[in-house]
Homo-oligomer: A and B are copies of this chain.
Amino acid sequence: MPEMIPADSVGLVTAQTMRFDDPLQLECGRVLAEYALIYETYGELNAQGSNAVLICHALSSDHHAAGYHSMDDNKPGWWDTCIGPGKPIDTRHFYVVCLNNLGGCKGSSGPATMNPETGKPYGPDFPVVTVKDWVNSQRRLAEALGIEQWAAVIGGSLGGMQVLQWSIEYPDRIRHAVVIAAAPKLSAQNIAFNEVARQAILADPEFHQGRYYEHDTQPRQGLMLARMLGHITYLSDDSMRAKFGRELREGKLNFGFDVEFQVESYLRYQGRAFVEHFDANTYLLMTKALDYFDPASQCGDSLSLAMKQVTASFLVVSFTSDWRFAPSRSLEIVKALLDNNKKVSYGEIEASQGHDAFLMPIPRYMELFSAYMARVVEEVR
């Protein structure tokens, strides 16, 4: 817990909830009659409403991107390295908005919240939401907050996909797009990993067809396996080697199936910790949103065609050791932008941390990110 809040922190923050009762048409064909979105904001919206930045979160994060909820918090929001006074997303200049996406489990409407039609948790009846649905719901939140156009929409991984969708869907509402460690669609291998994770959850006897809330249980083992697997794909082979090597927890082989190698201990810990604060149905939904994202599919598989109407300027960032969404995947986005003569800056950051690098304060990355955002600030003034 922070004895004192660091000077470059946004400080103590409080989440707010916005309720919507105008029905939201979803891509799956269903309609959400009402829903709530939980969000946080950092910094002040200027009089012109021109300095707003939207942060889109990745698979398992939420609206709490920066600062502390209380003096007892032992860690800040998930992207505190990048959001705050003097940081790349400088809250002295920007009004930052971050929400928990629809289908989430941290306060926005999702499988664990009450279905007004039944008075019970939605469970499996919560619709399969897509990146496009999220962007539509984010647009409504923007309107409710008095933001007509984002100075920038920013996100890493699945968050970067939302940024892409914003730039395609609402070109007039986004001036800058910052797409970090993302891809314009999942590869078959990416989908395959998601499928194993989903099967782990669906096959857990405690899953009860997604109605585990009513059985007062949860598919802990399945969700734990899903997280362990996910975690492997977030780290690079090199970073795992550096972090764990083949170190044995007790210094010798046990010839049994308890934890032996440090990496096993770490993964089990990560898996167990995750289960304490995440919902399995939400995990299923988030992986589906990843699988489905493919804006080029509507344009004969041409991303260039899909991005023809884009007007935002782009910063695209990738990390050398990211094998989940390798630099070559970011370059597909860059190419589509260049095909259309759009403005794009691209940085491939030398980093050993794998996909997780996008969350880390790697100096070259912070410099590039800060320099780009400084240009955005210039325009706002």
Contacts and interface: CB of A to CB of B under 8 A. Distances in A.
A174 to B, nearest CB: 26
B225 A256 contact: no
Interface in A280-328: 284, 288, 291-292, 294, 297, 323
Given A255-B127, A292-B253, A267 B185 contact: no
Contacts of A246: 185-188, 191, 294, 297
B185 A203 contact: no
- Quick one: which of A195, A253, A264, A297 has the most chain B CB within 10 A? A195
Please report whether the interface of chain A is mostly helix, strand, loop or mixed according to DSSP.
helix
Contacts of A256: 128
Contact of A205 (B198, B205, B288, B297): B205
A181 to B, nearest CB: 16
Contacts of A27: 255
A188 B261 contact: yes
A257 B288 contact: yes
B192 A264 contact: yes
A292 B246 CA distance: 9
A172 B260 CA distance: 34
A221 interface: yes
A244 interface: yes
A138 B141 CA distance: 68
Contact of A261 (B191, B221, B229, B237): B191
A179 interface: no
Nearest to A203: B221
Interface in A105-140: 127-128
A47 to B, nearest CB: 43
A228 interface: yes
Contacts of A267: 192, 195-196
A112 B326 CA distance: 43
A260 B198 CA distance: 13
A116 B266 CA distance: 38
A257 B198 contact: yes
Nearest to A263: B188
A271 B228 CA distance: 19
A132 B187 CA distance: 39
A182 interface: no
A60 interface: no
B198 A232 contact: no
B255 A192 contact: no
A156 B269 CA distance: 33
A152 B248 CA distance: 34
Interface in A176-202: 185-189, 191-193, 195-196, 198-200, 202
A342 interface: no
A187 B238 CA distance: 9
A258 to B, nearest CB: 10
A195 B263 contact: yes
10 contacts: A27-B255, A28-B255, A186-B246, A187-B237, A188-B244, A189-B235, A191-B264, A198-B257, A199-B228, A203-B225
Top 9 closest pairs, chain A to chain B, by CB: A28-B255, A188-B240, A203-B221, A128-B255, A189-B237, A188-B263, A188-B244, A195-B264, A192-B232
